[in-house]
Structure 1
């Protein structure tokens, strides 16, 4: 199948190896992992960055290859339990930040047709994600607009 906003086909990505339990060399306690996840979230890191830091730095010097295998919960589930989760989902927030940057660029450079197209594509993705998250993680009446995105991103920081 072709990609959504280009006519090209992308190469498929790799999958994680199938595993039912964490490797024996990574014997970190689940409570220590949860405490480290909450600590990293309080420092302002996103769930994806938290996973990378746990993989690279680990907990007390021992790397954690997969948080879900080690604790039985995803990083976002741990953050929700400890009330450290963000108001917006990470993918939606990143797309909104990109749209705000593109809109500011377009105000300075009206003739930039490529970035105008990129802004249209980005806002289209945002609207589809808002439809996906509406009701569960967003309010039923939530609609995307540039002003709403600016306000949400300022509140999030």
Structure 2
């Protein structure tokens, strides 16, 4: 994917190996995986963090390489079924956190022009993503401001 705010080309991502069923060494029950997903969500982890924790730590010591292969559902679907999903989409939340950090940094360091530009680019991405999610995932009248972002986080 190309970079959004530069003329450089992006780097291509890696592909997952094609698999139709979970590996034999990972024989964790689907219900146990779903319980662990909900438990991790209640601890405040995002869906991508939950996937990494299940891959690394697993359920009862047995790693889960792919939640969808093991349960037939994605992590986000499991969270929606158990009413454990967050109020903001994960990508929007990450961008809001970044914009709040950059805003506070620029307030303390007004001569830091590089981070002023980074703040402008991040705010632009937040507005673009908010337009995408407006009405479905976030309120129809959502407008990005620093105060609103700070309040949401």
Scaled by the length of structure 1, the TM-score of the pair is 0.93
Q: CA deviation at 1:2?
A: 3.6
Could you tell me which runs of 5 or more consecutive residues in structure 1 were left unpaired when the two chains were aligned. none
Q: CA deviation at 1:81?
A: 1.1
Do residues 148 (structure 1) and 135 (structure 2) align? Answer: no
Matched residue, 1:89: 89
Q: CA deviation at 1:20?
A: 1.5
Q: Within 2, Cα distance between the matches of 1:2 and 1:10? A: 4
The CA deviation string for residues 61-116 of structure 1, in whole angstroms up to 9 with x for no partner, is 11100001111111111111111111001111111011011111111111110000
Do residues 121 (structure 1) and 121 (structure 2) align? Answer: yes
Matched residue, 2:29: 29
* Residues 63-102 of structure 1 aligned to structure 2 (within 5 Å): 63-102=63-102
Could you tell me which runs of 5 or more consecutive residues in structure 2 were left unpaired when the two chains were aligned. none
The CA deviation string for residues 20-58 of structure 1, in whole angstroms up to 9 with x for no partner, is 211121111110000000111111111111100100111
**What is the CA RMSD across the aligned residues, in angstroms?**
1.1
Say which SS state the counterpart of residue 119 (structure 2) adopts: helix
Could you tell me whether the CA contact under 8 Å between 2:2 and 2:8 is conserved in 1? yes
Aligned length: 153
Structure 1 runs (4+) deviating above 4 angstroms are none
Q: Within 2, Cα distance between the matches of 1:74 and 1:143? A: 30
Could you tell me whether the CA contact under 8 Å between 2:2 and 2:11 is conserved in 1? no
